[in-house]
Amino acid sequence: MSTADTSLIHDLAPIDLGLDASKFPTFRDVQYEALEWAVETLEDANVIGCALPQGAGKSAFAVALARLLGRRAVFVTASKGLESQYMEDFGSGGLVDIRGRANYDCGDLAHLDCHDGPKAGCRYAQFGGCAYESAKAAARNAQLVTTNYAMWLGINRGSGGRGLQRTREDWRGDNPVELLVLDEGHEAYRQLAQFVSCQLLQSDLQRCTGYPVGEDIGEWSAWTENCLPSLDAAIKEAEVEIALLGGAVPKKDIDALHKLEALQTKFEKIASADSGDWIVERDVIARYGLKEQRWKFDSVFPGQYAKDILFCNVPKVVVMSATLKPKSLRYLGLSDEEFAFRAWRRIFPPERNPIYLSGCVKPGSVTEDRPLGTLIRIDRNTSEEDKREYVRWIDEQWIGRRLDRKGLIQTNSYAFQEFFMEHSRHAPLMIGNTDDPDSESAWQAAERFRKAEAPAILVSPSFITGWDFPMKACEYVLVVKAPFDERGSKLAKAREARDKDYGFFRAMQTTEQAAMRGMRRFEDQCEVALTDGHYTWFLRQYGRLAQDWFVKAVRPVRDAPKPPPRLA
């Protein structure tokens, strides 16, 4: 569609663009505005950033945009949950989903998945019929494809940078990707940073000798470069042994091979690291009750890799998120001249989605000079006594007054999640998980919470981005710990040397996302409370890093307001 035709967009209904009319009967005003702006702007711009507010219907906007432009599109998501949501909403209209090999069961060897099967001689992998290869073939030439950041980055990087062109051509198929949509685009930088980085544990290096013990990236690069030939030989030897055993190979043998391959990928990353950009950080961690050394290898500015393995010369790129800022795009290596940006106003009535700023007064802090006392701040220096008082206050002020409904408590760390659940008197009502956002544990916890009758409380740091709990599934969200955990490390300090706002920007993005999980529709309602004492100074000093509407919506309160009537 050309610029001259944009006036016709308002005459279109979702069904005219192939969307399911039962799920998308009409476009919202903000979607019409965004479609018109995007079509016009992409005439000249290669990259656009869209800060579409919660509930705007970003996925429907993105699919409709692809249809309007008539371009082959890939929609990249930050979680498999959001990827599945794309398929649920748009699969009937021709959208195809592609994930990593481990997400598909091997059709030949029932005890293995498609990551393991080819190693053990799966006949389908050799002669056709492999579930993963079939999914990839469907995606190869589909007009609309959804995947996740890990898969997209892995495809475009290839194996350690080798066979890159072959892998990319395999993905592109007969018609190249013409439109790339990065959903939850505020996460694109973190996903990219996580993909290019790696870490080594002391136990990983048992077969290696003479490895450096310090934090000199030059020494590590030289050492890993020297180790790669012997590691490659060990992988080939293991592959031969597994091939001889065929389908009878024990799963542990294949796992050992994958561990060698993962170590090879890490060594390749370190060997090619730019000593002027990469840093090494050593610490000690506890695993299985034992302590061991860990070395973390990170690029200070991972945005330098975005054009090659994230944007990949796709002619048109849309980055979208409710919390997107121009700074988000600069972090991806783009100059202000290389992208266009627009933010839209909040669409939900503030009275149905109030955002409160509250806090627990530290015992004994009320004095003549400080009649309001000092609010408890949750961080590594908070005493056990203050943390217990803080949990007691939340129990009384917020949870205790809302036992007729369900809520989400965003802890922003597993350590504080554990403390909260151990010390809350409402612990029997709480559901938690113990792993990362894409883990089975997180999925199980989310499903248990959705199916639970009120009162029920989901307590976790895992449900910040890409999770929705609409209507009665969640009528209040408490952000009980400000997410400053990234700050203070050697890496964070190096990134803050490039951008003094780095740590605070990341914390603000996380806060906004954490607050948005419960309000998804106009008829919905969800109270939000920022209860960590840190938020008092943080919002005052760094509110400019948030969406304008978010800061304006925050209402300071001393005590928890009376909750509205629960949803029917």
> How does pLDDT run across 62-92, given as a tens digit for each residue?
999 999 999 999 999 998 888 989 999 999 9
Q: Which two tokens stand for residue 89?
A: 């909403």
**Measured CA angle at 27 (ends 26, 32), to 5 deg:** 150
Contact between residue 281 and residue 298 where contact means Cβ atoms under 8 Å apart: yes
Contact between residue 358 and residue 477 where contact means Cβ atoms under 8 Å apart: no
According to the 3-state scheme, what is the secondary structure of 204-220? HHCCCCCCCCCCCHHHH
Q: Which two tokens stand for residue 78?
A: 């930050």
Q: Of 229-238, 280-289, 328-337, 532-541, give the lowest mean pLDDT range.
A: 280-289
Q: pLDDT confidence of 7, banded at 50, 70, 90?
A: low
Nearest to 434 by CA among 457, 451, 418, 452: 418
Nearest to 505 by CA among 464, 454, 461, 542: 542
H/E stretch holding 73 = strand 73-77
Contact between residue 15 and residue 65 where contact means Cβ atoms under 8 Å apart: no
160, pLDDT greater than 60: no
Say how far apart CA 520 and CA 55 lie, in whole Å.
Answer: 5
Instruction: Give the burial class of 507: count Cβ atoms within 10 A of its Cβ; 0-12 exposed, 13-18 middle, 19 or more buried.
Output: buried
Say how far apart CA 401 and CA 393 lie, in whole Å.
Answer: 12
Nearest to 459 by CA among 439, 472, 476, 484: 476
Q: pLDDT confidence of 489, banded at 50, 70, 90?
A: confident
Q: Which amino acid is at 3?
A: T
Say how far apart CA 441 and CA 437 lie, in whole Å.
Answer: 9
Give me the sheet containing 278-287, strands edge to edge: 198-201, 290-299, 278-287
Strand partners, 75: 146, 181
Q: What pLDDT is attached to residue 543?
A: 97
Q: Which amino acid is at 84?
A: S
2, pLDDT greater than 60: no
Q: What sign does the CA torsion over 284, 285, 290, 293 have? A: negative
Q: Which two tokens stand for residue 86?
A: 């794309």
Q: Which amino acid is at 567?
A: L
524, pLDDT greater than 50: yes
Q: Which two tokens stand for residue 439?
A: 């883990």
Q: What pLDDT is attached to residue 438?
A: 58
Radius of gyration, alpha carbons of the chain: 25
Say how far apart CA 408 and CA 392 lie, in whole Å.
Answer: 17
Alpha helix segments (H runs only) across 481-523: 490-498, 502-515
Q: Of 1-10, 132-141, 249-258, give the lowest mean pLDDT range.
A: 1-10
Q: What pLDDT is attached to residue 366?
A: 86
5, pLDDT greater than 70: no
Place of tokens 């055993």: 245
Q: What pLDDT is attached to residue 77?
A: 94
Q: Which amino acid is at 478?
A: L
Contact between residue 552 and residue 363 where contact means Cβ atoms under 8 Å apart: no
Q: What pLDDT is attached to residue 223?
A: 96
**Across all residues in the chain, what is the average pLDDT?**
91
Instruction: Give the burial class of 253: count Cβ atoms within 10 A of its Cβ; 0-12 exposed, 13-18 middle, 19 or more buried.
Output: middle
199: helix, coil or strand?
Answer: strand
First to last CA, the chain: 44
430 dihedral zone (left: phi>0; alpha: psi -120 to 50; beta): beta
Q: pLDDT confidence of 125, banded at 50, 70, 90?
A: confident
Find all residues with CB under 8 Å of 336, minimum gap 6, and list them: 326, 330
Q: Which amino acid is at 487?
A: R
DSSP 463: -
Say how far apart CA 504 and CA 327 lie, in whole Å.
Answer: 12
Give me the sheet containing 316-320, strands edge to edge: 95-97, 144-148, 73-77, 179-182, 316-320, 47-51, 340-343
pLDDT in tens, 334-385: 999 999 999 999 999 999 999 999 999 999 998 888 888 899 999 999 999 9
176/320: higher pLDDT? 320
Say how far apart CA 79 and CA 96 lie, in whole Å.
Answer: 16
Integer angstrom CA distances of residue 355 from 345, 352, 476, 544:
16, 10, 10, 17
Give the count of beta carbons closer than 10 Å to the beta carbon of residue 411. Answer: 24
Q: What is the mean pLDDT of residues 255-281?
A: 95
Say how far apart CA 332 and CA 155 lie, in whole Å.
Answer: 19
195, pLDDT greater than 80: yes
Q: pLDDT confidence of 290, banded at 50, 70, 90?
A: confident
67 dihedral zone (left: phi>0; alpha: psi -120 to 50; beta): alpha
Compute the CA torsion angle 298, 301, 304, 309 (nearest 10 deg): 40
Question: Rounded to a whole number, what is the largest CA-CA distance in the chain?
Answer: 82
Q: What is the mean pLDDT of residues 438-465?
A: 90
